[in-house]
Amino acid sequence: MRQVYLGRSGLVVSELCLGTMSFGGRADRDAARAMVDRFMAAGGTFFDTADVYNHGASEELLGTILGKDRDAAVVATKATMPMGDGPNDRSSSRRHLVRALHDSLDRLGTDRVDLYQLHTWDATTPLDETLSTLEDFVRAGKVLHVGVSNFVGWQLERAVRLQEAAGYDRLVSLQPQYSLVERNIELETLPATRENGMGVLAWSPLAAGFLTGKYTRGGDPSGKGRFARFVDDMPDAGWATLDELRAVADEHGTRPATAALAWLRSKPGVVPIVGATRPDHLDVTLAAADLDLSTEAVDRLDEVSEPRLGYPWDFGSIPGRPPRHPAGVSTGAR
């Protein structure tokens, strides 16, 4: 598995990230250890967790499994979500984040987090309070890099401009939902990440299993679990995308899930987060690290899954203006 820079930072990560949301829940200790071993044997180094995943059990299990291999791993975790019933047991306030980081370090059994992320936008806390707290963590050496998850474009811009004005370490990554059937971040959020040199960690890259090809139009909803509504409400455009994905996968001699992840890998600065509940499920996703789709296949998947722009994104450019030279466009890619 190749290693890449995360955005414009100096942090080097594997081009696939192992998501550990199932650890301590649907994946017990033995299954989690087998997944970590399989991922690292394939060259994977990047792991994503969060304090809220199984109420800390994911972090604790990941830390235990990594053990002496901690220095060979890049560990990302997140905070903001509720971890208790008290009024200060949630949010991106200084009070909550200080406690959350302390608890995460303890559960992970480490002295620093490589990437510490805000799990979502917090409209209840002044952003400068949150950002100054993150900067304190960096200066103390407890956090090496900071990122965010589930922010939209204007929120990213606001955060980066405040960090820039204060002389803080800037955000290096965004963790959004991104897949062939969820491309809305391309309208405004993804351009903001590229303009600011941020890496993109794509969660749910297989759209809750939809892009594995295991579902059919009008099929039996049993077995879809908590994502049943997501699959049952899939529009016709999503099913058309899946049909094209199946065709591309067949042409490349692979599975739809592998091809879907390879499509994401073709996008500048994007690292898909792959997860599983059983070790053998990783075989299909890890194969994406060795699959480079043809340019023609990527173009076909781009076209069939292209999101509807709408106003103001489709308003058009200024008439008569010459095209911008490619060198003048900031992509954030290394």
**Dihedral of the alpha carbons of 284, 39, 47, 271, in degrees to the nearest 10:** -50
Radius of gyration, alpha carbons of the chain: 20
The question of whether 53 is a catalytic residue gets the answer yes
What is the rounded (10 degree) CA torsion for 68, 52, 264, 182? 170
Check if the beta carbon of residue 252 is closer than 8 Å to that of residue 291: yes
- Write out the two tokens for 317: 């450019």
Which of 53, 116, 178, 215 is the catalytic position?
53
48 phi/psi in degrees, rounded to 5:
-120, 130
- Cα–Cα distance for residue pair 81/79, rounded to 1 Å: 6
Burial class (CB in 10 A: 0-12, 13-18, 19+), 307: middle
Which token pair is 56?
Answer: 């800390």
Determine contact, residues 190/226, Cβ cutoff 8 Å: no
Catalytic positions are 53
